[in-house]
């Protein structure tokens, strides 16, 4: 089968001869032609009647895109997503955004313009164009100047074009054929098979990496400070003879906030000698209330009336509003919470010293509220 | 005094002689097609050794942490930051040559632009190593980028250090794209020249299928112009932002408004010196003396004397402003630079940067290759010491005498610097053997008779 014709080509020895030939080509009315030279020849765009390249508008659009998105992003971050005061400046410190906005503008404008030129304007990459690997191409890529008039030109007829090229002193006039199907010589970048190949490569590489790093060999590239030369609680240690990492405190050491209780088994003395060290401020009463509701209310009830839901299952817890309790000094209440009394256990382990005193204050509040006088309401 | 009449209405030819396009292709792509010479292997083994030294020191830094470096309070920025600024500065010449001189229609740039751009990219790669190591948590560079994370935190957009991250990474990307854009037509030429099937595939893929079509050149030239237009303010912004790392702080000696222009001039100065050094070797090694001519080198020397004098002016102006400010701390810092414990570094800097380049006022020295090579090396040394003086003297003696200190780099610091030099020259050596060091399309376009006469 005869290969389909793509174009007729002719070579010229000097840029001047090429320029004349191009002017004649335009004059003759050919439109589907191309001019090839190893470097841009000055004035060729005028001779070929090419319109000014619109790439400048592309660059403007990409640059504006970069500027707007950079400023917009920084504005969103500093005003909406995570406002932070930095150096006492306003949140929207626009002068400080100028350098990054400028860099992003330049970045997008230059990279995208080049990509647009190659991919959209030139339909590159395309290595299957019929002109590739022809003797003609080998000449024009080094020192030749050439014109190629394509068959799809409406005025094309092989003999006529041959004659025309000879008349403008073209040499080496030669036909260029399509390698295969003419429909199959365009840009292949978005070809389904190519995109599929890329996707396949991505999946295989990602999968192999994942498998080999996670299953084949366990690699922990960086331990993020999780591995540290320190003794952790409850962990053994080779440093000590008994192999235990945690050491008992030195004899007689006292943990912070845990002074031994001086009135063990001496409730009368406690009542006489102890005074509440805290002032009944709102904060102290809040703490007292919180501890009371957590530890005391299950038996004594939320208001100290001894009416909790445990009533009837135990020996009934007593009310805190009895004559006896109301007349106790603060120290006695503290002593009972600390030591326990009858079936009530000690709460020293559950409630810190200060919070026990706060509970005492809160019980006084409950008592006063229970027997509220007219004057209290004023 | 003889006055030679120069006809300024006629442009000097950029290249010597009238090589044909085919000859240009042959001579530029020759190193790509033959086995490297012995000298190349020797050079590569030297640079790889330097790289290995650096690799070992980086390994020690990763393993033991930053404690192996000489940095400590108060000098927490040591020669790692010096090296960062030094390398970023080296890169600036490449963009200046490829973008700014392009916009100024300086056609002599065509012979050296490709090499200078490659140098930019390699220098920025070397620069990037240092801040990354300096963070001390070298496995967390992601934290430098604003990415959505479970802490709901973002980076601090008002910090000069973050501006630096954006500036340097943008600079690297745009330089690489600019470089690649210029390479595409050359790769297509190589694709059509080569007879080896493997190279053919590689060049075909990299050249994207470029066909030297004038319908494409038309857009290509516009894109090149646009990129040059963007790269010009970009290159000025990058060293400006690097200088903000210092100028935005309150340390005496850093807190000055002269820093941005002063840094940019210094960057171009040191970058030209580095390009000069490399090109002298390359044009000698690969017989490119007619494409990278002595006239081109002389023009570069003129740029060096200009930028060197700007740097010298900045040194003087710093002293004046320190005195004029009336601030005791500022005055002290500058007296301390010239007369204090680091006075040797200061005077090395002044001698190399201000004194020696003045020799270029004489045409005889400007056109002497051995002399310009030596001066360019000295300029590089001087510019390294400039950054050393700025970083170290200011930090070591700031406000409170009780918190003064003295900084001495450890062998690991020095090893990593040697490693970065090794990386840079290794990449240069690989580059000169794998890609055309001169832009084929650009040099053909400026060779005699390449453009049509007036129509």
> Which member of A37, A50, A110 has the closest CB to residue B230?
A110
Name every residue whose Cβ is closer than 8 Å to that of residue B29 and which is 6 or more positions away in sequence.
B190, B193, B436, B440
Measure the CA–CA gap between B438 and B289, rounded to whole angstroms: 12
Task: Give A141's contacts in chain B (Cβ within 8 Å).
Answer: 188-189, 191-193, 212
> Which member of B153, B157, B191 has the closest CB to residue A74?
B157
Task: Give B216's contacts in chain A (Cβ within 8 Å).
Answer: 121-122
pLDDT at A227 over 80: no
Indicate which of B27, B117, B135, B158 best probes the interface with A, i.e. most A CBs within 10 Å of its own CB.
B158
Residue of chain B minimizing CA distance to A43: B452
A297-338 tens-digit pLDDT: 888 888 888 888 777 777 778 888 888 888 888 888 899 999
Residue B276: pLDDT band (50, 70, 90) is very high
> Which member of A38, A81, A106 has the closest CB to residue B189?
A38
A120-172 tens-digit pLDDT: 999 888 888 899 989 999 999 998 999 999 999 998 888 999 999 999 989 99
- pLDDT the model gives residue B5: 65
B172-181 tens-digit pLDDT: 999 999 999 9
How far is the alpha carbon of B377 from chain A, nearest alpha carbon, in Å?
Answer: 32
pTM (2 d.p.)? 0.80
Picking from B454, B449, B455, B453, the residue whose alpha carbon sits closest to that of residue B15 is B449
- pLDDT the model gives residue A76: 95
pLDDT at B3 over 60: no
Residue B223: pLDDT band (50, 70, 90) is very high
Residue in the structure block whose two tokens are 């510019």: B383
Could you tell me the end-to-end alpha-carbon distance of chain A, in angstroms, rounded to an integer?
114
- Element (DSSP H or E) covering residue A33: strand A33-36
Mean pLDDT of B253-265: 93
Picking from A112, A132, A137, the residue whose alpha carbon sits closest to that of residue A62 is A112
pLDDT at B289 over 90: no
Is A197 buried (19+), middle (13-18) or exposed (0-12) by CB count in 10 A? Answer: exposed
- pLDDT the model gives residue B452: 84
- pLDDT the model gives residue B290: 84
Indicate which of B107, B160, B192, B228 best probes the interface with A, i.e. most A CBs within 10 Å of its own CB.
B192
B212–A14 CB contact, under 8 Å: no
Three-state SS for A236?
Answer: strand
> Which member of A82, A87, A125 has the closest CB to residue B152?
A82
Higher pLDDT, B261 or A256: B261
B36-88 tens-digit pLDDT: 888 899 999 999 999 999 999 999 999 888 999 999 989 999 999 999 999 99
Q: Taking a C-beta distance cutoff of 8 angstroms, is the pair B269, B282 a contact?
A: no
A37–B214 CB contact, under 8 Å: yes
pLDDT at A55 over 80: yes
Higher pLDDT, B385 or B109: B385
B212–A36 CB contact, under 8 Å: yes
Residue B1: pLDDT band (50, 70, 90) is very low
Q: CA of B435: how far to CAs of B90, B143, B178, B223, in Å?
A: 21, 35, 15, 22
Is B189 buried (19+), middle (13-18) or exposed (0-12) by CB count in 10 A? Answer: buried
How far is the alpha carbon of B163 from chain A, nearest alpha carbon, in Å?
Answer: 6
Measure the CA–CA gap between A102 and B236, rounded to whole angstroms: 12
> Which member of B181, B220, B226 has the closest CB to residue A59?
B226
- pLDDT the model gives residue A189: 72
- pLDDT the model gives residue B352: 95
Name every residue whose Cβ is closer than 8 Å to that of residue A357 and which is 6 or more positions away in sequence.
A276, A277, A278, A330, A334
pLDDT averaged over every residue in chain A: 88
Higher pLDDT, B149 or A167: A167
- pLDDT the model gives residue A48: 92
Strands (E), A151-284: 171-177
Residue in the structure block whose two tokens are 């260029």: A176
* Candidate from A368-377, B7-16, B31-40, B79-88 with smallest mean pLDDT: B7-16
Task: Give A112's contacts in chain B (Cβ within 8 Å).
Answer: none
pLDDT at B271 over 70: yes
* Candidate from A52-61, A172-181, B343-352 with smallest mean pLDDT: A172-181
Percentage of residues in chain B with pLDDT exceeding 70?
97
């Amino acid at each position: 089968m005869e290969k389909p014709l793509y174009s007729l080509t002719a070579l010229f020895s000097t840029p001047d001869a090429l320029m004349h030939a191009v002017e004649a080509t335009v004059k003759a009315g050919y439109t589907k032609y191309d001019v090839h030279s190893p470097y841009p020849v000055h004035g060729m765009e005028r001779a070929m009647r090419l319109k000014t390249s619109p790439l400048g508008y592309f660059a403007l659009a990409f640059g504006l895109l970069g500027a707007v998105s950079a400023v917009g992003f920084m504005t969103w971050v500093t005003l909406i997503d995570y406002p932070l005061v930095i150096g006492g400046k306003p949140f929207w410190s626009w002068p400080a955004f100028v350098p990054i906005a400028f860099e992003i503008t330049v970045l997008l404008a230059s990279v995208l313009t080049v990509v647009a030129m190659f991919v959209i304007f030139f339909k590159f990459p395309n290595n299957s164009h019929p002109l590739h690997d022809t003797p003609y191409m080998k000449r024009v890529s080094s020192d030749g100047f050439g014109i190629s008039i394509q068959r799809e030109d409406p005025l094309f007829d092989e003999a006529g074009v041959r004659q025309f090229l000879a008349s403008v002193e073209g040499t080496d006039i030669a036909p260029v054929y399509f390698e295969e199907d003419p429909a199959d010589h365009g840009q292949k970048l978005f070809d389904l098979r190519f995109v599929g190949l890329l996707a396949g490569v991505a999946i295989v590489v990602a999968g192999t990496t994942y498998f080999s790093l996670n299953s084949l060999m366990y690699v922990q590239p960086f331990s993020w400070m999780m591995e540290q030369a320190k003794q952790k609680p409850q962990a053994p240690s080779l440093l000590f003879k008994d192999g235990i990492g945690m050491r008992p405190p030195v004899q007689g050491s006292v943990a912070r906030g845990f002074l031994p209780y001086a009135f063990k088994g001496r409730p009368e003395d406690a009542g006489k000698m102890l005074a509440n060290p805290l002032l009944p401020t709102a904060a102290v009463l809040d703490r007292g209330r919180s501890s009371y509701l957590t530890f005391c209310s299950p038996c004594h009830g939320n208001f100290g009336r001894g009416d909790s839901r445990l009533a009837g299952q135990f020996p009934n817890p007593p009310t805190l509003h009895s004559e006896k309790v109301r007349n106790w000094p603060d120290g006695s209440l503290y002593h009972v919470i600390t030591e326990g009394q009858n079936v009530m256990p000690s709460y020293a382990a559950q409630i810190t010293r200060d919070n026990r005193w706060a509970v005492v204050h809160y019980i006084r509040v409950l008592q006063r509220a229970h027997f509220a006088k007219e004057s209290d309401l004023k | 005094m003889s006055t030679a009449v120069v006809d300024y209405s006629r442009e000097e030819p950029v290249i010597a002689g009238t090589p044909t396009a085919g000859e240009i292709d042959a001579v530029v792509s020759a190193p790509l097609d033959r086995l490297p010479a012995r000298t190349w292997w020797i050079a590569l083994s030297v640079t790889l050794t330097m790289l290995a030294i650096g690799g070992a020191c980086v390994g020690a830094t990763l393993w033991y942490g930053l404690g192996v470096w000489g940095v400590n309070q108060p000098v927490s920025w040591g020669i790692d930051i010096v090296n960062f600024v030094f390398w970023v500065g080296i890169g600036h010449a490449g963009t200046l040559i490829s973008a700014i001189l392009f916009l100024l229609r300086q056609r002599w740039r065509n012979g050296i632009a490709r090499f200078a751009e490659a140098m930019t990219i390699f220098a920025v790669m070397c620069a990037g190593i240092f801040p990354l190591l300096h963070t001390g948590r070298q496995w967390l560079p992601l934290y430098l980028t604003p990415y959505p994370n479970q802490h709901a935190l973002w980076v601090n957009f008002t910090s000069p250090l973050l501006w630096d991250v954006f500036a340097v990474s943008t600079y690297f990307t745009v330089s690489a794209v600019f470089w690649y854009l210029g390479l595409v037509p050359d790769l297509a030429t190589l694709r059509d020249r080569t007879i080896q099937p493997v190279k053919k595939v590689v060049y075909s893929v990299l050249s994207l299928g470029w066909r030297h079509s004038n319908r494409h050149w038309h857009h290509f030239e516009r894109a090149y112009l646009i990129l040059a237009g963007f790269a010009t303010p970009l290159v000025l912004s990058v060293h400006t932002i690097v200088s903000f790392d210092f100028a935005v702080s309150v340390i005496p000696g850093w807190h000055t408004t002269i820093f941005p222009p002063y840094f940019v001039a210094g960057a171009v100065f040191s970058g030209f010196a580095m390009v000069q050094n490399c090109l002298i070797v390359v044009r000698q090694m690969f017989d490119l003396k007619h494409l990278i001519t002595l006239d081109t080198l002389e023009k570069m020397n003129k740029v060096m004397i200009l930028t060197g004098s700007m740097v010298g002016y900045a040194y003087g102006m710093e002293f004046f402003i320190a005195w004029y400010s009336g601030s005791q701390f500022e005055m002290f810092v500058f007296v301390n630079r010239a007369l204090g414990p680091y006075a040797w570094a200061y005077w090395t800097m002044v001698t190399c940067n201000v004194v020696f380049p003045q020799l270029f006022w004489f045409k005889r020295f400007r056109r002497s290759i051995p002399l310009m090579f030596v001066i360019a090396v000295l300029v590089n040394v001087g510019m390294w010491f400039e950054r050393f003086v700025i970083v170290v003297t200011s930090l070591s003696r700031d406000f409170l005498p009780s918190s003064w200190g003295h900084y001495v780099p450890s062998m690991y610091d020095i090893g990593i610097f040697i490693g970065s030099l090794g990386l840079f020259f290794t990449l240069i050596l690989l580059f000169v053997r794998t890609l055309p060091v001169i832009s084929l399309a650009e040099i053909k376009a400026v060779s005699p008779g390449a453009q049509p006469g007036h129509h």
